[in-house]
Chain A
Amino acid sequence: MLSFIARRTISALGTLLLASVLVFLAVQALPGDVATKILGKDATPDAVAGLREQMGLDRPAWERYLDWVESALHGDFGTSLVSGKPVATEAAAHLGNSALIALVTVLFAVTGALVLGVLAGLYRDRWADHLISTVSLVGMSIPEFVVATVLVLCFSIALPWFPAVVLYGPDASVGQLLPAVWLPALALATVMAAYIVRMARTSVIDVMASEYVTTARLKGLSTWRVVTRHALPGALLPTLHVIALNVAWLVGGVAVVENVFNYPGIGKLLLTSVQNRDLPVIQAVALISAVVYVVCNLAADLGSMALNPKLRTRGRTR
């Protein structure tokens, strides 16, 4: 079991290393001169030379890559080309704000989706199942920005309960941001829940058809007990994986939704830096989201091992 954890961790680290190479290559090593790309075609030669100096572009790419990784490991992602502030502090403030949205989203999505998924699974092929399945199909067919726009129309304009845009900067306190968290989180949770509902429904159907559930029923256990003791744990396991797989999507979705609400999170930071061609920030955000994804997947794998006795002895998941 220990060797499994070790192997899984090492492979996660390897994935991260590769991801960092890809991010670096995509941003820095693509054809053309990076400094000219950042400053645009009308830049003076002096400005270009200055920027080349600042970014150390005269050195070979692999040297710059090693430098970048080394300082990134020390928490230093360079300085933003636009604001001149250290990227790490800027990203950390935004990341915290986004974590708030992500946390609320996952809570909403998982609880809501599990309830609906279990219901749909238990009442398979009846009207409750048809309704839930149809709604989740529509939920996964609508992009986040559409859900967000419709939510703004309903709950900020028609019923002025929540703010439509955030007027605070990245340094706003949790209390200031809290009223603005609900709509973005709800928009993301709607889309995310749609996937989890489908997953939970299938696994509940599988579990309810299994022999140990029949045994439990024959023992005379109530439906409630069968569901909470047998069906739910069985449904949780695959759900964990769906959540982990959706984390990469969530980071992207956060970027879109934050833009709709002008919420000062990591996605907003990314979009601003893309508009300004602020390469150090883009690189940092890309790497951070890769770290988040890999860590979440690792956690899901280890978590499913803890939940599933079969995997503990077999040693390898996939």
Chain B
Amino acid sequence: MTALDPAPTPAPATAPAPASAGGRTIRTWRTLRSSRTAVIGLAVVGVHVLLALLAPLLTPHDPVANSPSHALLGPGPEHWAGTDQYGRDVLARVLYGGRYALGVSAVSTVLGVALGTVIGCAAALRGGWFDDILSRVLDAVLSIPAILALLVVVTVLGTGYPVIICAVAVVFVPQVVRVVRGAALAVVPADYVTAARARGESTWAILRREVLPNIVDVVCVEFAMRASWVVLLISSLSFLGFGAAPPTPDWGLMVAENRTAITVVPMASLAPIIALATLVVGINLASDGLSKAWGVDRIREGS
């Protein structure tokens, strides 16, 4: 508990539940400083984002250029992590691969969490038959394994960024809805929600002004947790050959391509594995740290 927080606006020592924007910034800042895990996790993710963005500056090689004369080289001064069976530079492919992993995962996580949050809040607010029917449908969706659902969608609609992004988002909506609904149910009986209802405010307005600000920490933790799942799912999909199309530098795809040559050039498989593992460990650390610091009990939320 330090009194001197280098924050832009002064704020009370204890932030009240429906915090203002400034109060929230300070609270987040304090959370981050108090939780070493969250800082490490966010730093790891940040490094990944930087590496992906700066990929063209960091490596002179083209991630998709074939060069048969340089195939299957070990690590050396020209190719730091060696080359794969087509003579493509492994380091360049790993660096550019971060763009695919981060980009696709971020977009589909944002979509899924946003959709799930709105539906979950609406279910908690409305209650009654809407909630009942929704729970049943979500149970049914949850009973089909995510990767299977994705494979079915990909069979029918074909692969491609938009299809994969939407499919992943939809697959994760039920789980987000469950968690958010649980959190929102704790807020709905509060007096200020009843007051807002009595004022005759619309469901949407209550949701945006009364419910959402109070469950924003749950939603953030859920976002971080879903992000790690999404990265894993998308890379698994690529590994199976239904995600990124072959010349694309993608980590899952790289492992699948280089697995057969693992005894010859182990780095070609290990480099994407390390990249993938560090990214997900980073995300998991961040979500763990955040949930601990904010007191969001992830396990108890039922996921």
Residues of A within 8 A of B (CB): 11, 14-16, 18-19, 21-23, 26-27, 30, 37, 137-138, 140-146, 149-150, 152-153, 157, 198-199, 202, 238, 245, 248-249, 251-253, 255-256, 259-260, 270-271, 274, 277, 282, 285-286, 289-290, 293-294, 297, 318
The CA-CA distance from A30 to B153 in the complex, in Å, is: 9
Q: Assess A145 versus B280: contact at CB under 8 Å? Given A30-B157, A290-B144.
A: no
With A142-B277, A251-B145: A22-B140 Cβ-Cβ less than 8 Å: yes
Do B240 and A252 have beta carbons less than 8 Å apart? Answer: no
A294 and B255 within 8 A (CB): no
The answer to whether B21 has its CB under 8 Å from any CB of chain A is: no
Judge whether A271 and B262 touch: CB under 8 Å: no
10 further A-B pairs in the complex, CB-CB below 8 A; given A142-B280, A274-B151: A11-B136, A142-B273, A145-B236, A198-B299, A248-B146, A282-B151, A286-B148, A290-B140, A293-B142, A318-B302
Q: Cβ of A282 and Cβ of B144 under 8 Å apart?
A: no
Contact A23 B144 (CB under 8 A): yes
Given contacts A141-B284, A146-B273, contact A252 B146 (CB under 8 A): yes
- By a CB distance below 8 angstroms, the chain B residues around A202 are 299
Q: What is the CA–CA distance of A37 and B157 in the complex, to the nearest angstrom?
A: 9
Whether the pair A150, B273 counts as a contact (CB closer than 8 A) is yes
Taking a contact as CB atoms under 8 Å apart, the answer to whether B147 and A252 are in contact is yes
A137 and B281 in contact, given A15-B143, A18-B140, A289-B148 (Cβ under 8 angstroms): yes
The answer to whether residues A18 and B137 also contact, given A198-B299, A256-B236 and a CB cut-off of 8 A, is yes
CB pairs A–B below 8 angstroms (12 shown): A22-B140, A23-B144, A26-B153, A30-B156, A142-B280, A146-B276, A149-B255, A153-B266, A252-B146, A255-B148, A289-B144, A289-B145
Cβ–Cβ contact B148 & A19, under 8 A: no
The residue in chain B whose Cβ has the minimal distance to the Cβ of A14 is B136
Cα–Cα, bound, A249→B285 (Å): 21
**Contact partner of A293 among B145, B235, B262, B299, CB < 8 A?**
B145
Q: Judging by beta carbons under 8 Å apart, are A285 and B228 in contact?
A: no
Given contacts A27-B156, A149-B255, A289-B145, contact A144 B277 (CB under 8 A): no
A140:B284 contact, CB within 8 angstroms: yes
Contact B144 A248 (CB under 8 A): yes
User: A290 to B151, alpha carbons, bound, how many Å?
Assistant: 15
Q: Is the CB of B144 within 8 A of A37?
A: no
B285 x A137 contact (CB < 8 A): yes
Q: Which residues of A contact B140 (CB under 8 A)?
A: 15-16, 18-19, 21-22, 290
Distance in Å: Cβ of B29 to nearest Cβ of chain A? 25
**B14: chain A residues within 8 A (beta carbon):** none
Is B106 part of the binding interface, using a Cβ–Cβ cutoff of 8 Å? Answer: no
Task: From B139, B148, B276, B281, give the contact of A15 (CB < 8 A).
Answer: B139
Chain A CB within 8 A of B155 CB: yes
A137-B284, A141-B284, A149-B262 are known contacts. Are A248 and B145 too (CB-CB below 8 A)?
Answer: yes
Q: How many whole Å from A305's CB to the nearest CB in chain B?
A: 17
Name the residue of chain B whose CB is nearest to the CB of A32.
B156
Task: Find out whether the CB atom of A19 lies under 8 angstroms from the CB atom of B144.
Answer: yes
A203 to B285, CA, bound (A): 21
B residues in contact with A238, CB < 8 Å: 299
B108 within 8 A of A: no
**CB contact under 8 A between A27 and B239, given known A146-B276, A249-B146, A293-B145:** no
Asked whether, in the complex, the Cβ of A143 is within 8 Å of the Cβ of B144, the reply is no
Q: Evaluate contact between A26 and B259: CB separation under 8 angstroms.
A: no
Q: Indicate if the CB atoms of A274 and B155 lie closer than 8 Å.
A: yes
CB-based contact B142/A248 at 8 Å: yes
Q: Which of A16, A143, A260 contacts B143 (CB 8 A)?
A: A16
Q: Does B220 contact A (CB under 8 A)?
A: no
Tell yes or no: B83 within 8 A of A by CB.
Answer: no
**B residues in contact with A289, CB < 8 Å:** 143-145, 148
Q: Are B143 and A290 within 8 A (Cβ)?
A: yes
A67 to B32, CA, bound (A): 57
B202 proximity list for chain A (CB < 8 A): none
Q: Which of A252, A259, A271 contacts B145 (CB 8 A)?
A: A252
Among A18, A152, A259, A277, point to the contact of B240 (Cβ < 8 A).
A259
**B152 proximity list for chain A (CB < 8 A):** 23, 26-27, 274, 282, 286
**Beta-carbon contact of B136 and A18 below 8 Å:** yes
B141 proximal to A (CB < 8 A): yes
Contacts of B283 in A (CB 8 A): 141
Within 8 Å CB of B137, what residues of A?
A: 18
CB pair B236–A19 under 8 Å, yes or no, is: no
| Bound-complex Cα distance A318 to B155 (A) | 36
Known: A146-B273, A202-B299. A22 touches B144 (CB 8 A): yes
Q: Is the CB of B148 within 8 A of A143?
A: no
Inter-chain CA distance A270–B140, complex, in Å, is 20
Question: What B residues does A248 contact at CB under 8 A?
Answer: 142-146
Please give me the residue from chain B that is nearest to A255 by CB atom: B147
Cβ of B73 to closest chain A Cβ, rounded Å = 20
CB B182 to nearest CB in A, in angstroms, measures: 10
Contacts of A153 in B (CB 8 A): 262, 266
Chain A residues whose C-beta falls within 8 Å of the C-beta of B143 in the assembled complex: 15-16, 19, 248, 289-290, 293-294, 297
Chain B 228-239 per-residue mask, 1 if CB under 8 angstroms from chain A, else 0: 100010011001
| In contact, A149 and B273 (Cβ under 8 angstroms) | yes
Pairwise interchain contact A137-B288, C-beta atoms closer than 8 A:
yes
Indicate if B102 sits at the interface (CB-CB under 8 A). no
CA gap between A142 and B279 in the complex, in Å = 10
Residues of A within 8 A of B146 (CB): 248-249, 252
Check B255–A145 contact: CB distance below 8 A.
Answer: yes
Most buried by A among B141, B152, B273, B303: B152
Any chain A CB within 8 A of the CB of B149?
yes
